Amino acid sequence: MNGDRIVIFDTTLRDGEQSPGCSMNTREKLEVARALVELGVDVIEAGFPIASPGDFEAVSAIAAACGDRTTICALARSREDDINRAKQALAAAQYRRIHVFLATSAIHREFKLKMDKQQIIERAVASVSLAKEFCDDIEFSPEDAVRTELDFLCEVVEKTIAVGATTVNIPDTVGYATPSHYHRVISHLKQHVPNIDRAIISAHCHDDLGLAVANSLAAVEAGARQVECTINGLGERAGNAALEEIVMAIRTRADYYKVHTRINTRKLYPTSHLVSSITGMKVQRNKAIVGQNAFAHEAGIHQHGVLQERSTYEIMRPEDVGYVGQNLVLGKHSGRHAFRDRVVQLGFTLDEAALQQAFDDFIALADKKKEVYDSDITALIENRLQDAVDSWKLIRFHTSAGTGTIPTATVELQFEEQSAVCDAATGDGPIDAVFRAMLRITGLQAKLEEFDVRSVSEGQDALGEVHLSIGFGGRHYQGKGVSTDIIEAAARAFLQALNREYVDLRSGGVTPVRPQG
C-alpha cells in the first residue's frame, strides 16, 4: 500500500442530512449506514443526538447495528447536555467517537457566542475533558477554523489535544478557503502546535466556492490524515466535499499523493445510487465519478482512442467505481437463475419474496420493452424497496385527458393495512389531477416545487424516472418514481414525497386529517 492511510470520515448522515429536503428516517439512515460499512469508511458520523428524538434514535440504532465494525461518531456542541446525550446514543457501539465543536472565529465569538478567547479555551477544554470520561476517541472541531486568527487557532488546538482530543478537525464551515490558503492553515498548525503529533489533523470543507474537494486534497498534501466528506457531496448549501471524488483522486493519483484509503471503490457507484434514491436528491449527469456521463465518450475521436487503448482517454475504469452502465443484460426468456445472479452483481441482497417480486417486475418490463438494462433492474428494485416501507401505497389510478376535455384522475391508495381509499380530482393536466387526488385522499398539503423527468436507459420504450420536490410549512421533501408510463412515475414520486412529509409531521406530533366522503 502506498504511504499513510487517510481516514475517511463520512458525515452523510449528519452534515449531509442537513441539506434541505434530504432528511431521512431511522430506517433509511440504517440502510445508508450499512452501505457505508460495506464501502469501508473508517468513521460514520451518524447524527447529532441532542438535535431531536429522531436523531437520537437513529444514532442509537446505528451504534447498535454497525458499531462493532466501524467507528460510530456522534456530534455534540460544547455543552454538558449535548455530550451526555451523545454518550447515551453511542452506548451500544464497540467503536465510538464523540465529536465536540465550538466556534473560534472572531465573527462567531462576537456575534453568535458572545464569548472572549479565554472563555472559548476554557469551554473547549472542559468539553473535551468531559467527553474523554466516556471514550478515548475524541474529535474536537474549532468551528469556522479557516476564519480564525492563526495564533488563537494554534492555542485552541494545542489545549484540546493536551486534554485528550485524538483528532483535531479544521472546518472550513462557510466554504471560504482556497487550496493554497487551506494548505497554509494546516501546515501552520503542524509547525506551530507543539503536541500536534498526538492527534490526527482532519479536513472538513464546504463547497460554497466549488473548492471543497480541492481544499481537502490540499490538506492531505499538507499532512492532514483524516478527510470528512459525504456521498454525492450532499450537505448544507452547496454541500460538503464528495467522498467518491476524494477517494478516487487519492487512488488515481497515488503516484502524487502517496497515501491510500481503505475504501472498496467498487461500492462507490451503488452507494451513491442508494443515497440518491433514499434522499431523492438526484446526481447531476456530468458529476465526477458517479454521474451518468462520467464514463461516456461522445466524441468519435475519443471513442476511437478508447477502443484502441483505454488509457488514451480514460484515467479510471468504470468497473473500478462499480459503475452500472447501459449493459444489455437479460431478455424476456432469461431464467430466474440468471436474474438472481445479476441482482447480486448489482449489489442487492433480497430475500426470496423480494426477489420474486423483482423478477415479476422484470418479466412485466421485458414484455413491454425489448431490451432490459442493468439500470432498469436497479430502478425496479429501488422502486419496490421504497414501496415496502412507505405508509401510503399506490394501488391504481386512471386518468383521462386530451384537447377539449377537463383532465381528470381517479386514484386508489392504501394506508398501511387499512382498506384502500379512492378519490378523484380534476387538474391542469393528468399529472396535476393525480397529485390533487392524492392530496384529497391523504389529507396532506403540499406545493410542487420542482419536477424533472429523465429516461433510465435507451429507447422510446425506456423507463422514465421522475424526480420532484414538494414544500409545506417551510419544509421540503423529495420524491423519485420510475415506470415506463410517465404519469405513473410522477404519481410514485409524488407519493414518496408525501410519505416523507407524513413521517415528518407525525414525528412532530401532527397527524394529518383525511377529508371525509
Q: Pick the closest to residue 103 from 124, 129, 126, 125 (CA basis).
A: 124
Nearer to Zn ion, 216 or 265 (CB): 216
Tally the C-alpha atoms within 13 A of residue 204's C-alpha that lie toward its C-beta: 31
Candidates 9, 56, 101, 494: give the one binding ligand KIV (CB under 6 A): 101
CB of 101 to ligand KIV, least distance (A): 4
Which of the choices ligand KIV, Zn ion, none does residue 464 contact, using the CB cut-off of 5 to 8 A by kind?
none
Nearer to ligand KIV, 204 or 251 (CB): 204
Neighbouring residues of 1: CB distance < 8 A, sequence distance ≥ 6: 260
Helix (DSSP H) and strand (DSSP E) numbers for the chain: 17, 18
Q: What are phi and psi of 114, to 5 degrees?
A: 50, 50
404 exposure class (CB count in 10 Å sphere: 0-12, 13-18, 19+): exposed
CB of 215 to Zn ion, least distance (A): 13
Q: Hey, which residues between 122 and 141 contact ligand KIV (CB under 6 A)?
A: 141
Please report the DSSP string for 269-284 in residue order. HHHHHHHHHHH--PPP
Nearer to ligand KIV, 60 or 240 (CB): 240
Cβ neighbour number for residue 263 with a 10 Å cutoff: 23
**Residue 143 within binding range of ligand KIV, rule CB under 6 A:** yes
Nearer to ligand KIV, 23 or 173 (CB): 173
Number of residues that make up the chain: 517
Which of the choices Zn ion, ligand KIV, none does residue 457 contact, using the CB cut-off of 5 to 8 A by kind?
none
**Residue 45 within binding range of Zn ion, rule CB under 5 A:** no
Nearer to ligand KIV, 245 or 374 (CB): 245
Which of the choices Zn ion, ligand KIV, none does residue 143 contact, using the CB cut-off of 5 to 8 A by kind?
ligand KIV
Instruction: Classify 143 as helix, strand or coil.
Output: strand
Tell me the C-alpha distance between 80 and 83, whole Å. 5
395 exposure class (CB count in 10 Å sphere: 0-12, 13-18, 19+): exposed
Q: Which span sits near ligand KIV by CB under 6 A: 24-32, 165-173, 263-271, 283-291?
A: 165-173
* Cell numbers found for residue 500: 416523507
Element housing 439 (H / E): helix 430-442
Which of the choices ligand KIV, Zn ion, none does residue 182 contact, using the CB cut-off of 5 to 8 A by kind?
none
CB of 231 to ligand KIV, least distance (A): 16
Q: Which span sits near ligand KIV by CB under 6 A: 124-132, 169-177, 336-344, 357-365?
A: 169-177
Please report the DSSP string for 362-401 in residue order. HHHHHHH-S-EEHHHHHHHHHHHHHHHH-SEEEEEEEEE-
Nearer to Zn ion, 15 or 423 (CB): 15
CB of 77 to ligand KIV, least distance (A): 9
**Residue 171 within binding range of ligand KIV, rule CB under 6 A:** yes
CB of 127 to ligand KIV, least distance (A): 13
**Residue 176 within binding range of ligand KIV, rule CB under 6 A:** no
Per-residue contact flags (x/-) with ligand KIV for residues 8 to 47, judged by CB under 6 A: -------x--------------------------------
Tell me the C-alpha distance between 112 and 237, whole Å. 20
Q: Pick the closest to residue 190 from 182, 201, 181, 179 (CA basis).
A: 201
Q: Hey, which residues between 3 and 32 contact Zn ion (CB under 5 A)?
A: 15
**Residue 204 within binding range of ligand KIV, rule CB under 6 A:** yes
Tell me the C-alpha distance between 381 and 375, whole Å. 10
* Cell numbers found for residue 458: 435507451
Residue count, binding to ligand KIV (CB under 6 A):
9
Q: Which residues here bind Zn ion, judged by CB under 5 A?
A: 15
Point out which residues bind ligand KIV (CB under 6 A). 15, 101, 141, 143, 169, 171, 173, 204, 206
